[in-house]
Chains A and B, each alone.
Chain A
């Protein structure tokens, strides 16, 4: 497998000559991988995708596809499949004609093309829809046609630009699995852009978190969630409780962080020495109520809000001066004394409390 199937090499991009939308981007994507570019809007992720597709040119740097520099190759010669945000199906062509378009421009004989179209349609379970017009299909079906069209000419790389953005929640989730399965079955390399973190976590092999024109972290979904390298990633992915403070001691892979009126133990990730400002990040599910195990952080908090969520209850607690501390309590353990105004004990391991860069 080619480790550097797609390679962004020191890519800069600016539209107006004043602001860099993409800054010094360095990114390698392995062949057959499903990589998601995740980030808030304006973070440069779509720009990266457009540069890869050839609709934008890098201001500086070079993009390589399978070892070839592609900056000077026009989009139609790159052979990259693409799924657009609003599907971009050709409204005046039937589903069959839409799928036949990339094959026809490649001068593939009709019987061979028909086979490929059948195969692509069955892959997205839309057999029998070939003669429909896109306008006669539902949003989900149009999305499947768009996916089938991007794959029908057997590209090595497929780009998807927020393809599920326009679908409702249930359909979006089932499409996520469907796209993931298609990727697994045909082994094509996929670069996927989204701002929906659960989508990214569900589908990807690796996720590149974008912010401010830079990749903040590129790693597998579990690592991204469990081990965020900076406070932006910790904040952006999943829910997060934070304490802002100052490192007062650091030794044996642990550090003491002095808060306004208390001191907690944390795992030093991006702090090096005493006196540094830091933001400690703790996932809600890593903190327990009335911990039975021995945990090295145990503090008292007051329940300020209880919100019932069906499978779990969200509890907002005023803890160590942070009134936005969130806990998720599974509803099976409802024997616990969770009532508004109660004082409870909360404990967590210092290993899960990551001392990151200050916000």
Chain B
């Protein structure tokens, strides 16, 4: 049977399969050409920058390239006691090379990141090394400063030997590799990133929850109202979409500040005393309020599109079969909206977790998120590799959420519209 089907020929004697492929090739090429610009665009704007970010975040070639001979010589060193003359000689030669190229300043900065105290001894070494005699470099270098005779400093240099490092990622988690190569946390009072990560998750979670609680009734109303009212309501939902994000955030600043409209109203109705106006901005409250308002449409729209497809006769059926309105809602209507809830929550949460402008403007010190920290390192400290590392950690987190969601609900069940 199967051999017969393989032998089917077209009228001009070409096997059917070949003929089919030939006739479809044109369409395939056409289809590919249609998506090619998008593909190119994605590669240039998405795949390439992310790849670059990944490289940047683990890249540690700078020192590796500045001290090639030293690291070669250090390969044989066990790293317990001071290295042999060979290592010192190699270091001297590398160092002279750097001084000639006027790059020793960069080396000192880099090594100082690894261990404090390199800056001054490298400066001193530069001055003294001009007059070094040939031979016995170990003695001569150790004579420059007593730290050069300290094995800890040589260990610190050796730690910079690999071309790649996980140091930036550890720093993002408030951890570092100590002298013995163990991964340890920084002391409690210096942990900032963990707090930021947790706060980001917390704010994203609650913003998603608030959005869900507010969007569900709105979406239901939108889906069940007659057309002429639902169109108006839909415009009200979409109106914020058509307004600039900055304008919306700025308007929250006007509303929420201590001398702002909301506070004036509270004082006006006697809810709070004039001299005890609550702070609703430059803290978490501000971030919660503004982000919830801004992300609300992202929850409403998927919910609405799912609710629109639920036939009103299902609720009626539930009631006619004896279910109270609450039972009919909970057993019939609600389960059918789960794909929309999933889509909306996923969308809101992922958007919230990387939110930047709003927390930057209304968040203050206690309401900023991890993305603000990334921006800080991009713009102020110029530690791009650290910013890249944190960006990738955020991306990984988002992918992890997506994965968990797929396991729990199934991504096929998602409905965006």
Seen from chain A, the residues whose Cβ lies within 8 Å of a Cβ on chain B are 53-55, 74-82, 84-86, 88-92, 101-102, 105-106, 149-150, 153, 159
Q: Which of B311, B316, B321, B336 contacts A149 (CB 8 A)?
A: B321
| A76:B323 contact, CB within 8 angstroms | yes
Question: A80 to chain B: which residues have CB within 8 Å?
Answer: 320
Is the CB of B45 closer than 8 A to any CB of chain A?
Answer: no
The A-contacting residues of B in range 320-339, CB under 8 angstroms, are 320-325, 327-328, 331-332, 335-336
| A86:B320 contact, CB within 8 angstroms | no
| 19 additional contacts (CB under 8 A) given A55-B316, A76-B323 | A54-B320, A55-B319, A74-B319, A75-B316, A76-B325, A76-B328, A77-B322, A82-B320, A86-B311, A88-B311, A88-B314, A88-B316, A90-B314, A90-B317, A101-B321, A101-B331, A102-B322, A105-B324, A153-B321
Question: B325 to chain A: which residues have CB within 8 Å?
Answer: 74, 76
Complex Cα distance A352/B332, Å?
54
Complex Cα distance A159/B316, Å?
13
Q: Which of B316, B323, B324, B336 contacts A101 (CB 8 A)?
A: B323
How many residue-residue contacts, CB under 8 A, span A and B? 67
Could you list 25 examples of A-B contacts with CB < 8 Å? A53-B320, A54-B320, A55-B319, A76-B321, A76-B324, A76-B325, A76-B328, A79-B322, A82-B320, A84-B313, A84-B316, A86-B311, A88-B314, A90-B317, A91-B336, A101-B321, A101-B323, A101-B331, A102-B321, A102-B323, A105-B321, A105-B324, A105-B327, A153-B321, A153-B322
Is the CB of B318 closer than 8 A to any CB of chain A?
Answer: yes
Question: B311 to chain A: which residues have CB within 8 Å?
Answer: 86, 88
* Binary per-residue interface labels of chain B (297-327) against chain A in the complex, 1 for a CB within 8 Å, 0 otherwise: 0000000000000010110111111111101
Complex Cα distance A86/B311, Å?
9
Question: A85 to chain B: which residues have CB within 8 Å?
Answer: 313
Complex Cα distance A347/B321, Å?
56
Seen from chain B, the residues whose Cβ lies within 8 Å of a Cβ on chain A are 311, 313-314, 316-325, 327-328, 331-332, 335-336
| A75:B331 contact, CB within 8 angstroms | no
Q: How far is the CB of A270 from chain B (nearest CB, A)?
A: 40
Q: Which of B313, B322, B331 contacts A88 (CB 8 A)?
A: B313
Complex Cα distance A153/B314, Å?
18
Q: Which of A81, A91, A92 contacts B320 (CB 8 A)?
A: A81
Question: A55 to chain B: which residues have CB within 8 Å?
Answer: 316, 319
| A106:B322 contact, CB within 8 angstroms | yes
Nearest CB to that of B317 among chain A residues? A88
Nearest CB to that of B324 among chain A residues? A76
Q: How far is the CB of A273 from chain B (nearest CB, A)?
A: 51
Question: A91 to chain B: which residues have CB within 8 Å?
Answer: 336
Question: A76 to chain B: which residues have CB within 8 Å?
Answer: 319-325, 328
**CB-based closest 3 A-B pairs:** A102-B321, A88-B317, A82-B320
Complex Cα distance A176/B325, Å?
32
| B322:A105 contact, CB within 8 angstroms | yes
Question: A82 to chain B: which residues have CB within 8 Å?
Answer: 316-317, 320-321
Considering residues A86, A102, A159, which has the most beta carbons from chain B within 10 angstroms of its beta carbon?
A102
Question: A89 to chain B: which residues have CB within 8 Å?
Answer: 317
| A92:B335 contact, CB within 8 angstroms | yes
Question: A74 to chain B: which residues have CB within 8 Å?
Answer: 319, 325
Complex Cα distance A243/B317, Å?
47
Complex Cα distance A55/B312, Å?
11
Question: B323 to chain A: which residues have CB within 8 Å?
Answer: 76, 101-102, 105
